[in-house]
Amino acid sequence: METVKLYGAWPSPYSCRVIWALKLKGIPFEYIEEDLYNKSPQLLQYNPVYNKIPVLVHGGRPICESMVILEYLDEKWPQQPLLPTDPYERAEARFWVKFAEDKGLSIRMIYRTEGEKQEKARRDALEMLTILEEHGLNGKKKFFGGDNINIVDIAFGWIAHWMGVIEEITGVKLVEGNKFPLLKAWMHNFKEVSLINENLPNREKMVAFFRTRRSLILSAAWHPDFGFISRR
Amino acid sequence: MMRRRRRRMTTRLPTTCSLPITTTEPRPDSGLITSTRNQELPPMAETLTLLDYWPSMFGMRCRIALREKDIKFEYQEQDLWSKSPLLLEMNPIYKKIPVLIHNGKPICESLIIVEYIDETWKGKAPLLPSDPYERAQARFWADYVDKKIYEGGRNVWSTTGEDQGEAKKEYIERLKVLEGVLGDKPFFGGDSFGFTDIALIPYYSWFYSYEICANFSIEAECPKLISWAKRCMEKESVSESLPDPEKIYMLLLELKKKAGK
């Protein structure tokens, strides 16, 4: 069997998505930790377009972008399917995956900004969470995938663990009090899944890492596409 | 029964585009054709409607995919300044076109619609390659087009002066990346027209507008990409789905005037 390698970074939710999918399907892989402040020549060679993790390398051939990787894994290793078989249900699942990608940026922006920009990001994030609660989770069973997690649960996984870290670091509360009961239940259920629970980065380490990174982002030259300009 | 002659989309447009567009009646080139071309006939009582807006690159992708597979569909022009109850009902989250409504059920987001079309009507003209690695590459580059080409183009026509200079430079760089990926292949998918080609070719109808607004020639900078575009335009599914670039430019002028630019 051709070797599977994953270039990832421990604090990254995108990296975790691929780890969760690989473990769910029981695919053996070699994990290579990347230093986000000092990227390896291999990573830059495998992902010349974005220079980002995660990158899956299968039999020497790279696949980039976490959700593209997940669809690839689902097609090569059909056990424990991530997507439904019915075309309409697949389209629905892909819609929510795209929603997670496009609208999830608002929560990241809370972390990357301050002042007015952060306030706008907070409003966008609340709108996103409301849509998720009312349209995405309404009428669903335990998970987006029914009784078991699927590609949509994995795509939203960062909400279950990373959103709390962002709330703590920035002091901007999104899910509080009695708001978003369905979302809270989903977050709890998601983290209870043993393969997820066993593959989440340590929360304290995350708080320290992201707190430092946030001060760097706010103080230094930082580009949304290229990261820290001096490191490009 | 009289055979309805299929007309090119461009001949139906008025010579001056006055906004907002209010018609929602099916356009004559909507695919309700009675030609003798080999057509995939849907099962009894199947309905297929595309909610669209004529200059939308995203809408064009869906038109191309449906036509590639010879699928009958009803085209419904939408007024984006006064959105119809149907659009708001079918896409309550984004309230945007395109929306494909298949037997009453909506599918939103253009690339998701294209994949849905490919998976539902498997018989003819596969839009994605069969090999999973090639499929991943097709999805990666279609995603690149979404991330880099839409906003890049908008920056070119909507800015001025130094900002526009920067936007032009950036846009050409991004197109050159795609040109590099294309290489010497006839299409992004290799010998066959496919997913990445469908994702990108609608922008060809907007190139004229970018060139006029920013005073440059995309062909001079990316000749191979323009050869590829002209090759795509030889396909009926593409030429019938892309509007006249001059009509798009006139629309852009109107939009700019309304925005006070």
Enclosing domain of residue A46: 4-76
- Read off the pLDDT of each residue in A101-117 and give the average, rounded to a whole number: 93
Confirm whether A224 is domain-assigned.
no
Measure the CA–CA gap between A186 and A141, rounded to whole angstroms.
Answer: 9
Average pLDDT of chain B is 86
| Lowest-confidence region among A37-51, A102-116, B17-31, B162-176 | B17-31
Confirm whether B35 is domain-assigned.
no
Confirm whether B4 is domain-assigned.
no
Confirm whether B204 is domain-assigned.
yes
Could you tell me if B215 and B172 lie in one domain? Answer: yes
- Read off the pLDDT of each residue in A79-87 and give the average, rounded to a whole number: 97
Nearest to A83 by CA among A2, A95, A59: A95
Could you tell me if B113 and B172 lie in one domain? Answer: no
- Above 60 in pLDDT, residue B222? yes
Confirm whether A229 is domain-assigned.
no
Let me know: does A57 contact B121? Beta carbons within 8 Å.
no
Q: Give the model confidence (pLDDT) of A169-188 as tens digits.
A: 999 999 988 999 999 999 99
Could you tell me if A68 and A117 lie in one domain? Answer: no
pTM comes to: 0.89
Measure the CA–CA gap between A214 and A208, rounded to whole angstroms.
Answer: 10
Select from B74, B97, B127 the last residue of a domain: B127
Could you tell me if B143 and B209 lie in one domain? Answer: yes
Nearest by CB to A88, from B92, B105, B137: name it. Answer: B105
Could you tell me if B94 and B137 lie in one domain? Answer: no
Q: Does A63 touch chain B (CB under 8 A)?
A: yes
pLDDT band at A227 (very low <50, low <70, confident <90, very high): low
Q: What is the pLDDT of residue B171?
A: 97
Could you tell me if A72 and A94 lie in one domain? Answer: no
- Read off the pLDDT of each residue in B131-144 and give the average, rounded to a whole number: 98
Could you tell me if A45 and A140 lie in one domain? Answer: no
Let me know: does A202 contact A164? Beta carbons within 8 Å.
no
Confirm whether B22 is domain-assigned.
no
Q: Give the model confidence (pLDDT) of A4-33 as tens digits.
A: 999 999 999 999 999 999 999 999 999 999
- Above 90 in pLDDT, residue B14? no
Interface touch B140/A64, C-beta < 8 Å: yes
Nearest by CB to A68, from B113, B115, B136: name it. Answer: B136
**% pLDDT > 70, chain B:** 82
Q: Hey, of A56, A63, A69, A89, which one would you mutate to test binding to chain B, going by the most B CBs within 10 A of its CB?
A: A63
Query: Which residues in chain B (95-114) have CB-CB distances under 8 A to chain A?
Result: 102, 105, 107-109, 112-113
- Above 60 in pLDDT, residue B36? no
Q: Give the model confidence (pLDDT) of B75-96 as tens digits.
A: 999 999 999 999 999 999 999 9
Confirm whether A124 is domain-assigned.
yes
Burial profile B18-35: b = 16 or more Cβ within 10 angstroms, e = fewer: eeebeeeeebbbbbebee
Q: What is the pLDDT of residue B260?
A: 76
Could you tell me if B103 and B137 lie in one domain? Answer: no
CA distance A219 to chain B (A): 24
Task: Give the number of domains in chain A.
Answer: 2
Q: Give the model confidence (pLDDT) of A122-134 as tens digits.
A: 999 999 999 999 9
pLDDT band at B3 (very low <50, low <70, confident <90, very high): very low
Number of residues assigned to chain A = 232
Domain CATH code at residue A174: 1.20.1050.10
Does residue A138 sit in helix, strand or coil? coil
Q: What is the pLDDT of residue B46?
A: 86
Q: Does B208 touch chain A (CB under 8 A)?
A: no
Could you tell me if A46 and A95 lie in one domain? Answer: no
Both tokens assigned to B207: 């190139």
Could you tell me if A151 and A113 lie in one domain? Answer: yes
Could you tell me if B66 and B55 lie in one domain? Answer: yes
Enclosing domain of residue B123: 45-127
Q: Does B116 touch chain A (CB under 8 A)?
A: yes
Select from A22, A57, A76 the last residue of a domain: A76
Q: What is the pLDDT of residue B40?
A: 54
Q: Hey, of B88, B89, B131, B140, which one would you mutate to test binding to chain A, going by the most A CBs within 10 A of its CB?
A: B140
Task: Give the number of domains in chain B.
Answer: 2
- Read off the pLDDT of each residue in A97-109 and give the average, rounded to a whole number: 93
Q: What is the pLDDT of residue A148?
A: 95
Interface touch A135/B92, C-beta < 8 Å: yes
Interface touch B143/A68, C-beta < 8 Å: yes
Residue pointed to by tokens 């690839």: A72
DSSP codes, A86-136: SHHHHHHHHHHHHHHHHHTHHHHHHHH--HHHHHHHHHHHHHHHHHIIIII
**% pLDDT > 90, chain B:** 78
Domain CATH code at residue B60: 3.40.30.10
Confirm whether B188 is domain-assigned.
yes
Could you tell me if B115 and B145 lie in one domain? Answer: no
Confirm whether A167 is domain-assigned.
yes
Confirm whether A225 is domain-assigned.
no
Which ipTM was obtained for this model? 0.94
- Above 50 in pLDDT, residue B178? yes
Select from B60, B95, B127 the last residue of a domain: B127
Amino acid symbol at A160: A
Could you tell me if A117 and A198 lie in one domain? Answer: yes
